[in-house]
């Protein structure tokens, strides 16, 4: 019985370790330059702030880097011309717990929208709380907060495969 209890404790510990915070975000997929975002990335890229309400309606100020700047650095859009077949690209955002959301590239490009989506590392001047960070996507303007992903681990640019109709 003691051995089973020990195995159970070890299993719980290992499963919780799988949800430990990651200290970097992988940027990959259909891009020219894959890279990783970490705390140092926030000092080498332009940091912006935006106000965003939590699910209780309380306003917070988030600090982070523009998702457009991240994808530009990655070379996600050749020659920075989001048009034609490039409009079939989208971003798959993944979190530490397996949660995923999709964002179309025009939702990120300032040539198409006035809203700025950021990858935040701070809320109200402090590092994000452990249950939300160290990195969180903030999507302003959404009526529901479902795409403001907490504990972001990867940003993967993919291209939709358009079926040929006959």
Where helices occur in 30-78 by DSSP H, the ranges are 41-44, 67-74
Residue 128 DSSP one-character state:
P
Tens digit of pLDDT per residue, the chain (166 long)?
554 444 334 343 433 444 444 699 999 999 999 999 999 989 999 999 999 998 888 999 999 999 999 999 999 988 888 888 889 999 999 999 999 999 999 999 999 999 999 999 999 999 999 999 999 999 998 989 999 999 999 999 999 987 777 7
Q: Where are the domains of the chain?
A: 32-159
Q: Whole-model pTM above 0.95? A: no
Q: Which CATH class is domain 32-159?
A: alpha beta
Sheet containing strand 25-29, strands side by side: 35-37, 25-29, 152-159, 89-95, 100-104
Residues 102, 81: Cα–Cα separation, whole Å:
21
Which pLDDT score, from 0 to 100, does residue 85 have? 87
The tokens describing 135, both together, are 């990195």
């Amino acid at each position: 019985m003691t051995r089973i209890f020990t195995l159970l404790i070890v299993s719980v510990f290992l499963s919780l370790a799988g949800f430990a915070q990651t200290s970097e975000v992988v940027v990959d997929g259909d891009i020219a330059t894959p890279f990783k975002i970490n705390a140092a990335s926030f000092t080498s890229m332009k940091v912006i702030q935006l106000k965003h309400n939590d699910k209780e309606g309380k306003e917070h100020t988030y600090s982070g880097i523009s998702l457009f700047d991240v994808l530009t650095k990655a070379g996600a859009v050749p020659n920075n011309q989001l048009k034609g077949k490039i409009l079939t690209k989208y971003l798959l955002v993944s979190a530490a717990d397996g949660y995923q959301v999709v964002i179309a590239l025009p939702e990120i490009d300032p040539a198409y929208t006035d809203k700025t989506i950021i990858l935040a590392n701070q809320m109200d001047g402090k590092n994000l709380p452990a249950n939300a960070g160290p990195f969180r996507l903030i999507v302003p303007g959404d009526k529901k907060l479902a795409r403001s992903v907490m504990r972001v681990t990867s940003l993967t640019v993919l291209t939709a495969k358009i079926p040929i109709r006959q």
